[in-house]
Structure 1
Amino acid sequence: MASGHGNIPEEVIESVLARHDIVDTVGKVVHLTKRGKYLWGLCPFHSESTPSFTVTPDRGVFHCFGCGMGGNAIKFRMEIEGLSFPEAVKIMAEESDIPVPEIAGGMQSAHNPELDRLLQAYEWSAKFYHYLLKNTEYGKAAMDYLRSRKFSDHMIDQFQIGYAPDRWDTLLQFLERRNFDLAEMDRGGLLSSRSEGKGYIDRFRGRIIFPIANRAGKVVAFAGRILGEGQPKYLNSPESKLFNKSRILYNLHQSKASIRKTRQIVLFEGYGDVISAWESGVHNGVATMGTSLTENHASMMKALADEAVIAYDGDRAGQAAAMKALSMLEATGLRVKVAVLPGGLDPNEFVAQYGGDRFREQIIESAVSTVKFKLIYLKKNHILLEEDGKIAYVKEALQIIASLHSSTEREVYLKEIASELDLSYDSLKQDCNLLRASMQKNMPEGDNNVKRWNNGRHKKGQVQARALLPAYHAAERSLLSLMFQDSEAAAYVNEHLGEDFNIDDHAAIAAYLYAYYAQGKQPEISRFLSSLQDDRLEKIAASISIMESPPDWTTQLLDDYIREVRKYPVQRMMEKKREEMIQAEKAGDFLRAAQIASEIIALERQ
Structure 2
Amino acid sequence: MSTGNGNIPEDVIEAVLQQHDIVDVVGKYVHLTKQGKYMKGLCPFHSEKTPSFTVTPDKQIFHCYGCGKGGNAIKFVMEIESYSFPEAVRTMAEDANIPISWNAQAMEQSPRNLLRDQLLKAHELTAMLYHFLLKNSDHGQPAMEYLRQRGFTDKLIDQFQIGYAPNRWDTLTQFLTKRGFDLSEMEQGGLLSMRSDESGYVDRFRDRIMFPIWDRNGKVIAFGGRMLHDGQPKYLNSPESMLFNKSRVLYNLHHAKPSIRKAHQIVLFEGYVDVIQAWDAGVTNGIATMGTALTSDHLNHLKNQAEEVVVCYDGDDAGQAAAMKAIPMLEKAGFQARVAVLPDRLDPDEYIKEHGKERFRHQIIEGAVTPTKFKLIYLKKSHILLEDSGKQRYVSEATKLIAEIQSPTEREVYLKELAQQFPIFDYETLKQECNEFRITLQKKKPVGDNNDNWWNNVMNEKRVTPPPNLLPAYHNAERTIIALMLQDLEVTRYVQERLGDEFNVEDHAAIAAYLYAYYAQGKEPDISRFISSLLDDRLEKIAISISMMEVQLEFNPQVLDDYIREIQKVPRLREVKHKRDEVKEAERAGDFLRAAQIASEIIALERDLK
TM-score normalised by L of structure 1: 0.73
- Structure 2 residue 108 is matched with structure 1 residue 112: yes
Q: What is the alpha-carbon distance in structure 2 between the residues aligned to residue 337 and residue 82 of structure 1? A: 27
Q: What is the alpha-carbon distance in structure 2 between the residues aligned to residue 453 and residue 308 of structure 1? A: 27
Q: 1:433 aligns with which of 432, 435, 455?
A: 435
Q: What is the alpha-carbon distance in structure 2 between the residues aligned to residue 182 and residue 465 of structure 1? A: 61
Partner of 2:207: 206
Contact 1:61/1:542, CA 8 A, preserved across alignment: no
Unmatched tracts of structure 2, length 5 or more: 572-610
Residue 440 of structure 1 and its aligned partner are, at CA, apart by 2.3
Residue 156 of structure 1 and its aligned partner are, at CA, apart by 0.9
Q: 1:431 to 1:86 in 2, by over 3 A?
A: farther
Partner of 2:525: 522
Residue 187 of structure 1 and its aligned partner are, at CA, apart by 3.9
Contact 1:63/1:542, CA 8 A, preserved across alignment: no
- AA in 2 matched with 1:13: L
The aligned runs of 1:35-54 (5 Å cut-off) are: none
Q: 1:100 to 1:112 in 2, by over 3 A?
A: same
Unmatched tracts of structure 1, length 5 or more: 29-33, 566-606
**Deviation by residue 1:528-586 (Cα, 9 ceiling, x = unmatched):** 33455x5xx13432234325798677479679979999xxxxxxxxxxxxxxxxxxxxx
Contact 2:130/2:164, CA 8 A, preserved across alignment: yes
Q: 1:149 to 1:306 in 2, by over 3 A?
A: same
Contact 2:190/2:238, CA 8 A, preserved across alignment: no
Q: 1:100 aligns with which of 96, 102, 112?
A: 96
Q: 1:564 to 1:401 in 2, by over 3 A?
A: same
Residue 179 of structure 1 and its aligned partner are, at CA, apart by 2.1
- Structure 2 residue 546 is matched with structure 1 residue 542: no
- AA in 2 matched with 1:341: L
- Structure 2 residue 19 is matched with structure 1 residue 18: no
Partner of 2:333: 332
The aligned runs of 1:534-573 (5 Å cut-off) are: 537-547=536-546, 554=560
Q: 1:230 aligns with which of 229, 232, 235?
A: 232
Q: What is the alpha-carbon distance in structure 2 between the residues aligned to residue 465 and residue 166 of structure 1? A: 71
Q: Secondary structure at the match of 2:139?
A: helix
Q: 1:185 to 1:521 in 2, by over 3 A?
A: farther
The aligned runs of 1:89-488 (5 Å cut-off) are: 100-101=96-97, 111-113=107-109, 114=114, 115-193=116-194, 199-227=200-228, 228-231=230-233, 233-240=235-242, 242-422=243-423, 423-448=425-450, 459=464, 483-488=485-490
**Deviation by residue 1:144-203 (Cα, 9 ceiling, x = unmatched):** 332332212211110001122344433232222222344443444333455666654434
Contact 2:23/2:55, CA 8 A, preserved across alignment: no
Contact 2:501/2:512, CA 8 A, preserved across alignment: no
Q: 1:545 to 1:358 in 2, by over 3 A?
A: closer
Contact 1:131/1:162, CA 8 A, preserved across alignment: yes
Q: What is the alpha-carbon distance in structure 1 between the residues aligned to residue 492 and residue 383 of structure 2? A: 71
Q: What is the alpha-carbon distance in structure 2 between the residues aligned to residue 475 and residue 175 of structure 1? A: 64
Q: 1:195 to 1:561 in 2, by over 3 A?
A: farther
Contact 1:486/1:523, CA 8 A, preserved across alignment: no
Q: Secondary structure at the match of 1:445?
A: coil
Residue 233 of structure 1 and its aligned partner are, at CA, apart by 2.5
- AA in 1 matched with 2:526: P
Q: What is the alpha-carbon distance in structure 1 between the residues aligned to residue 454 and residue 326 of structure 2? A: 16
Contact 1:313/1:346, CA 8 A, preserved across alignment: yes
**Deviation by residue 1:47-92 (Cα, 9 ceiling, x = unmatched):** 9xx99x98565573447999x8664465355445434557767989
Residue 208 of structure 1 and its aligned partner are, at CA, apart by 2.3
Q: 1:125 to 1:259 in 2, by over 3 A?
A: same
Contact 1:70/1:538, CA 8 A, preserved across alignment: no
Q: 1:41 to 1:340 in 2, by over 3 A?
A: closer
What's the % identity of the aligned pairs?
47
Q: What is the alpha-carbon distance in structure 2 between the residues aligned to residue 448 and residue 287 of structure 1? A: 30
Q: Secondary structure at the match of 2:373?
A: helix
Q: What is the alpha-carbon distance in structure 2 between the residues aligned to residue 131 and residue 379 of structure 1? A: 50
TM-align CA RMSD = 4.9
Q: Secondary structure at the match of 1:266?
A: strand
- AA in 1 matched with 2:525: Q
Contact 2:486/2:525, CA 8 A, preserved across alignment: no
The aligned runs of 1:71-86 (5 Å cut-off) are: 71-72=71-72, 74-76=74-76, 78-84=78-84
Deviates most, 432-441 or 409-418: 432-441
Contact 2:224/2:235, CA 8 A, preserved across alignment: no
Residue 23 of structure 1 and its aligned partner are, at CA, apart by 10
Q: What is the alpha-carbon distance in structure 2 between the residues aligned to residue 462 and residue 199 of structure 1? A: 66
Q: Secondary structure at the match of 1:366?
A: coil
Contact 2:191/2:238, CA 8 A, preserved across alignment: no
- AA in 2 matched with 1:233: Y
Contact 1:499/1:511, CA 8 A, preserved across alignment: no
Q: Secondary structure at the match of 1:4?
A: coil
Q: 1:555 to 1:2 in 2, by over 3 A?
A: farther
Q: What is the alpha-carbon distance in structure 1 between the residues aligned to residue 282 and residue 381 of structure 2? A: 31
Contact 1:161/1:211, CA 8 A, preserved across alignment: yes
Residue 316 of structure 1 and its aligned partner are, at CA, apart by 0.8
Q: Secondary structure at the match of 2:20?
A: helix
Partner of 1:577: none
Q: What is the alpha-carbon distance in structure 2 between the residues aligned to residue 275 and residue 498 of structure 1? A: 63
Contact 2:14/2:529, CA 8 A, preserved across alignment: no
Q: 1:23 to 1:233 in 2, by over 3 A?
A: closer
Residue 244 of structure 1 and its aligned partner are, at CA, apart by 3.6
Contact 2:268/2:310, CA 8 A, preserved across alignment: yes
Contact 2:259/2:284, CA 8 A, preserved across alignment: yes
Q: 1:309 to 1:139 in 2, by over 3 A?
A: same
Q: 1:186 to 1:480 in 2, by over 3 A?
A: farther
Contact 1:268/1:311, CA 8 A, preserved across alignment: yes
Contact 1:475/1:564, CA 8 A, preserved across alignment: no
Contact 2:16/2:92, CA 8 A, preserved across alignment: no
Q: 1:451 to 1:549 in 2, by over 3 A?
A: closer
Residue 338 of structure 1 and its aligned partner are, at CA, apart by 1.0
Q: What is the alpha-carbon distance in structure 1 between the residues aligned to residue 226 and residue 248 of structure 2? A: 21
Q: What is the alpha-carbon distance in structure 1 between the residues aligned to residue 507 and residue 398 of structure 2? A: 60
- AA in 2 matched with 1:234: L
TM-score normalised by L of structure 2: 0.72
Q: 1:163 to 1:406 in 2, by over 3 A?
A: same
Q: What is the alpha-carbon distance in structure 2 between the residues aligned to residue 461 and residue 165 of structure 1? A: 65
Q: 1:4 aligns with which of 3, 8, 15?
A: 8
Residue 349 of structure 1 and its aligned partner are, at CA, apart by 1.6
Residue 351 of structure 1 and its aligned partner are, at CA, apart by 1.7
Residue 409 of structure 1 and its aligned partner are, at CA, apart by 1.4
Contact 2:531/2:540, CA 8 A, preserved across alignment: yes
Q: What is the alpha-carbon distance in structure 1 between the residues aligned to residue 564 and residue 455 of structure 2? A: 43
Deviates most, 511-520 or 385-394: 511-520
The aligned runs of 1:503-522 (5 Å cut-off) are: 510=513, 514-515=517-518, 518=521, 520-522=523-525
Q: Secondary structure at the match of 2:240?
A: coil
Q: What is the alpha-carbon distance in structure 2 between the residues aligned to residue 499 and residue 186 of structure 1? A: 54
- AA in 2 matched with 1:317: A
